[in-house]
Chains A and B, each alone.
Chain A
Amino acid sequence: MLSLKLGLRNAGRRKGRSALTVAMLAFGTFLLVFSTALNEGPYADMTEMATGTWGGHLQVLNEGYLDSPSMYEFIEEPLGVVDALQARPHVVAATARLEAAGLLSVGERTAGAQLTGVMPENEPKVSTLPRTISQGEFLPTGEVGDEDPLPIVLGDGLASRLDAKLGDEVVFLGQAADGSMAAELFTLVGVLDSGVDALDASMALVRLEDAQALFEMKDRAHRVVVRTEGLGHVGAVARGFTPQAEGAKLYTWREINPSMVSSIESDRAGGFVFALVLMFMVALGAVNTTVMSVFERSQELGVMKALGTSPGTIVATVVWEAFVIGLLGVGLGALLAACLNEYMAQPHVGLEMFDEPIDFAGYQMFKIYPKNTVRGTIAYPAMILAATTLGAIWPAIRASLLDPVKAIRGV
């Protein structure tokens, strides 16, 4: 194609100027991709913390439970829901939980706690919490004899407040679903440190069947939590699934964590404004180069017209030249930034910007790990390239409208 050949050759004609333009585009794109990755990294970490640590990718709840987490907003036959979900493609595992608040006492000390009944065999496949045991062990799987003490695991914040040690007796006091007093004696088998202070300060885990017995809630639970093969599969798993339990509804992690999602979205919107400003400035610089290039080559363009070159071919020649320079600059910048992001995303690298952990939407991070995303590493550079290329259309059209006589004379 003639216009492509001319565009390519013209791009390499003024090597110094083209190199400067490429460098400017590369620098701008690098900044944009890297800064976006610095934002996207924490977003991904927060999402991972919210979904991986405890919340899962999907949850089945009674419709009223999300807004008003009352003991009576439960799901009937939760194990049927667990089995149905585990049978779906892209589901790693599902687990049921029963939740109730109450008081825990160890010796003289008492503290409020969120007691959660979990399925010890399924929970480690759904959440990372069981892997954060810092002392002792997680809840045992299998049968526990009638005479054996009932096991309980506490968050390290709660254990510290209760001054509880492994093997200590822990008394729970609360209210059962039938209005009676729920009281039980547990034995501390493990302490966990999830890294999320809010969880560790109030979390107490017992086996689901123990919790169901304690609260008079046989064959009932409050949540069925699902882990999929990744966030990208959430939609596919959720599509077309209706829980076969009265009043139950499937929620995605976004619906479960609206405040975190909205914090991320508003922060991302701010980042997008910054990205637009940067894109505009970078593209403007590149368009200026195209304008200069066309201006300098007026005579040559006039000759092209005189020889019978169509206006479309002249437009295409100028636009190809801008595209080639844009592709080089944007490609180089995006590639360098993407490589740096990948390097810094390694667990032992990261970016430590402050002495104190960074707090965002209730989550604390000690390091920022940049993350390449389709938006930041591909879409934004593509937008710069598009702006650079589209910005060349105006000078290209002017070039195609040149009066060949005046242009050849250099008037």
Chain B
Amino acid sequence: MSDSKEKAEGGAGGEVVIEVDDVKRHYVTGGGTVKALDGASLTIERGEFLAIAGPSGSGKSTMLNVIGGLDVPDSGEVMVEGKHLGEMRQSQLAALRRDRIGFIFQAYNLNPVLTVLENTEYVMMLQGKPPAERKKLAVDVLEEVGLGDMLDRRPSQLSGGQQQRVAVARAIAGAPAIVLADEPTANLDSTTGQELLDMMERLNRERGVTFVFSTHDPEVMKRASRLIRLRDGKIESEERRR
């Protein structure tokens, strides 16, 4: 418990890796203006296992997108490892995502023309790691997530749970500081979801990777070291779970 508390307060030493300050992101739609984020502020420390919960349209995915530099806030500031995302060019944001941030999507979003091994190597290929090195790292990660015997399979030959494991492997293989996971268990049955969470908890613990989830899943919320609740684009509550 004390270990968890130390993480909640600052992870592996209290170093802030993500800082979201008074961020607003409004979308104009046919039905009017949607305030996806409306002055939300948040600080995440290295090594946290943090869940962002809330009803649909509360701004969870938008929060992950602005942290990942995929979406640009209308106002406010986002800093990742001390870098102001608003001051970075698109190419610098792409490099930041490639080198420091891993992504896990609800629909897995593996590349269908690449094998399990190649999907896992993908980010490392972008990073320019030598083939032998990236293959070894990818094989190690895939063995870690229990897919060491499926290296040459294509995503279409895998179950949903297996595909999401590959997505996790892809997200962490490039040694990111942060993994942003958008409802990673939403498409999985509860048993598979639990197994995936076990795995991500272990990776968080053993590799010290900061995990930030958006979720509806009570199981994810239960396991999170800290739970942030969003409503109407604002942070409604913050709860340290461990």
Q: Does A306 contact B103, Cβ atoms closer than 8 Å?
A: yes
Most buried by A among B65, B90, B94: B94
Q: Does B91 contact A310, Cβ atoms closer than 8 Å?
A: yes
Minimal beta-carbon separation of A405 from chain B (angstroms): 5
Which residues in B have their C-beta under 8 angstroms from that of A92?
none
B96 and chain A: residue at smallest CB distance: A308
Which residues in A have their C-beta under 8 angstroms from that of B71?
405
Which residues in A have their C-beta under 8 angstroms from that of B7?
none
Most buried by B among A9, A10, A13: A9
B90 and chain A: residue at smallest CB distance: A311
1/0 contact trace for A309-321 toward B, CB 8 Å?
Answer: 1110100000000
Minimal beta-carbon separation of A73 from chain B (angstroms): 73
Q: Does A303 contact B109, Cβ atoms closer than 8 Å?
A: yes
1/0 contact trace for A1-20 toward B, CB 8 Å?
Answer: 01001100110010000000
Q: Does B126 contact A307, Cβ atoms closer than 8 Å?
A: yes
Selected from B109, B113, B114, B123, the residue in CB contact (under 8 A) with A308 is B123
Q: Does B126 contact A308, Cβ atoms closer than 8 Å?
A: yes
Q: List which B185-230 residues lie within 8 A (CB) of chain A.
A: none
Q: Does A405 contact B111, Cβ atoms closer than 8 Å?
A: no
Q: Does B95 contact A13, Cβ atoms closer than 8 Å?
A: no
Q: Does A13 contact B112, Cβ atoms closer than 8 Å?
A: yes
Q: Does A308 contact B98, Cβ atoms closer than 8 Å?
A: yes
Q: Does B109 contact A313, Cβ atoms closer than 8 Å?
A: no
Which residues in A have their C-beta under 8 angstroms from that of B111?
6, 300, 303-304
Question: If the complex has contacts A307-B122, A308-B99, A309-B126, are A9 and B114 also in contact, measured as CB distance less than 8 A?
Answer: yes
A299 contacts the other chain (Cβ, under 8 Å)? Answer: yes
A309 and chain B: residue at smallest CB distance: B126
Q: Does A10 contact B113, Cβ atoms closer than 8 Å?
A: yes
B125 contacts the other chain (Cβ, under 8 Å)? Answer: yes
Give the distance in Å from the alpha carbon of A304 to the alpha carbon of B105 in the complex.
12
Selected from B68, B101, B109, the residue in CB contact (under 8 A) with A300 is B109
1/0 contact trace for B87-121 toward A, CB 8 Å?
Answer: 00011001111110101010001011110001000
Chain A residues touching B, majority SS: helix
Most buried by A among B96, B125, B170: B125
Q: How many A-B contacts if CB must be within 8 Å?
A: 58
Chain A: interface size category:
20 to 34
Question: If the complex has contacts A306-B70, A307-B123, are A9 and B98 also in contact, measured as CB distance less than 8 A?
Answer: no
Give the distance in Å from the alpha carbon of A13 to the alpha carbon of B99 in the complex.
29
Question: If the complex has contacts A2-B125, A2-B126, A408-B105, are A306 and B68 also in contact, measured as CB distance less than 8 A?
Answer: yes
Which residues in B have their C-beta under 8 angstroms from that of A305?
94
Minimal beta-carbon separation of A302 from chain B (angstroms): 9
Which residues in A have their C-beta under 8 angstroms from that of B123?
307-308
Give the distance in Å from the alpha carbon of A404 to the alpha carbon of B90 in the complex.
12
Question: If the complex has contacts A10-B113, A13-B113, are A303 and B105 also in contact, measured as CB distance less than 8 A?
Answer: yes
B128 and chain A: residue at smallest CB distance: A2
Q: Does B105 contact A309, Cβ atoms closer than 8 Å?
A: no
Q: Does B94 contact A310, Cβ atoms closer than 8 Å?
A: yes
Question: If the complex has contacts A405-B65, A405-B70, are A309 and B94 also in contact, measured as CB distance less than 8 A?
Answer: yes
Which residues in B have their C-beta under 8 angstroms from that of A303?
103, 105, 109, 111
B127 and chain A: residue at smallest CB distance: A308
Interface CB pairs A-B, < 8 A, 25: A2-B126, A5-B118, A6-B113, A9-B113, A13-B112, A13-B113, A300-B112, A303-B111, A305-B94, A306-B70, A306-B97, A307-B123, A308-B98, A308-B101, A308-B123, A310-B91, A310-B94, A311-B90, A311-B91, A311-B94, A313-B126, A404-B70, A405-B65, A405-B71, A408-B105
B: residues with CB less than 8 A from A are 65, 68, 70-71, 90-91, 94-99, 101, 103, 105, 109, 111-114, 118, 122-123, 125-126, 170
Further 6 A-B residue pairs, CB within 8 A, beyond A9-B114, A306-B97: A305-B94, A307-B97, A307-B98, A307-B170, A311-B91, A311-B94
Closest 4 CB pairs of A and B: A308-B98, A9-B113, A308-B97, A303-B109
